[in-house]
Amino acid sequence: MSVLPGTSDPFDSAVALQAALHSGEITAVEATTTYLERISSREDLGAFITVTADSALEEARLADELFDAHRNDPSATPLPLILGMPTAHKDLTEVAGVPTTRGSAAFEPEIATADHPVVATLRRAGMISLGKTQVPEFGLTGYSENNIAPPARNPHDLARTPGGSSGGSAAAVAAGLLPVAPGSDGGGSIRIPSLACGLVGLKTGLGTIAGDIESGAADPFGGPKLSVHGPIARTAADAALLMDALAPGGHYREAVARAGDLTGITVARCEASPFDAVFDIKLSPDARLAYNTAASRLAALGHLVDEADYTYDPTYPEIFTNGWTSGLSLLEIEDSAVDHLMPLTRAFRERALGRSAEEHRANATLLNQFAAEVRELWGRSDVVLTPGLTMDAPLIGEFLSRTPDGDYQLQCEWAPYTSVVNVSGLPAIAVPILKTSAGLPMGVQLIGRRGSEAQLLALAAQLQSFS
């Protein structure tokens, strides 16, 4: 296996790996085998729940046949964009023929009969799935610990969480077990683990990826649909490559390639959080340094950075929490299995069941009103800059050592800037800025207007150019 002349190791970058695959310098079987070996050697990370080596290698062999056929007849149909590129999917997402656990011991794993729409999109783009990654139960929490498998761990410090709910995927990408991975984000589940693991993580705007709204753009009670998909990657360029597969026609790689031309963007910086009304949100010195450093870099790049004094509706923490957990009231579960739920899931499900359908719909109306208000507020600037996480990633077990309410409070205090973006339906990107003296990543969040994913990726590329 050789390395392309003039490039670094192609396994250091999804973009470089794609070029090596398409040039024939590396075969899909070689790439798949390399990543499977890496996965096997890093079981200490707890990144994977299921590894599908046999099917992955078969898909790789078929990919190599397509590559060979195309080289013999270049006039044939163009090859899929990321043919032969290995990845993995969160164990909340259905992959045909593979068990889905949803991170819960309260249900038997189900063998999916069909791919989730986003999985199907990536399969058409030529991606090869190596398995399913660790998640919290039903993707509810910002850390990836459950009752069915060892916790996912942060590659920068194995004693700490990589975040959640895309924690297994982020840990795998950060450790080089995957070149890039799709994540899903219903309250920060792409951005939190990306920030904790030093990665670029793009939460797309609602509807940018067609598969996210195949069942509609509202939740079952009429509130904003919170969960969308997006890329988790080591660089903005890698994230753009995956975005061009997830949402064809968006010209994301082109935007990153031309990032140097981007200037004069109006940036509102603000560290106010909607959770300030109920929790004592404080930035650690490292989190503040990352926030200030990002603002200084954006200004140095020629963008117009101003302080914003946003004031959020103090009822947000309650209406978001009620909306975020309303779906638990629809969870059909045998009484004998309730005790197998995680403590937070069980407690918040009981509260959700205690509210009537009419109350859930009324709460959804309030969330829709808040979403419109925050879109108007943020829309006065091109981009909003917020801190990323407020402190270092907590230790494994720290959340679960608390009561459910204490667990939830720590999550909100650690990641108080993410969920409001899900309510708004707008895109946002997590960007690593620095490493602390302890070697832990610290980054920021950029929130954009509708349809600004390409611009956010370009800004992330600009910020990464300083490191």
Catalytic sites, residue numbers: 90, 165, 189
CB 457 within 8 A of CB 208: no
3-state secondary structure of 266: strand
Q: Cα separation of 50 and 274, whole Å? A: 37
Its sign, for the CA torsion 82, 84, 87, 89, is: positive
SS3 call for 286: helix
Instruction: Tell me the C-alpha distance between 197 and 440, whole Å.
Output: 8
Fill in the amino acid letter for 210: A
206 in helix, strand or coil? Answer: coil
Which residues lie across from 435 on neighbouring strands? 441
d(CA 139, CA 146): 10
Distance CA 275, CA 142 (A): 16
Q: Which residues lie closer than 8 Å to 380 by C-beta, 6 or more apart?
A: 268
Contacts of 300 (CB under 8 A, 6+ apart): none
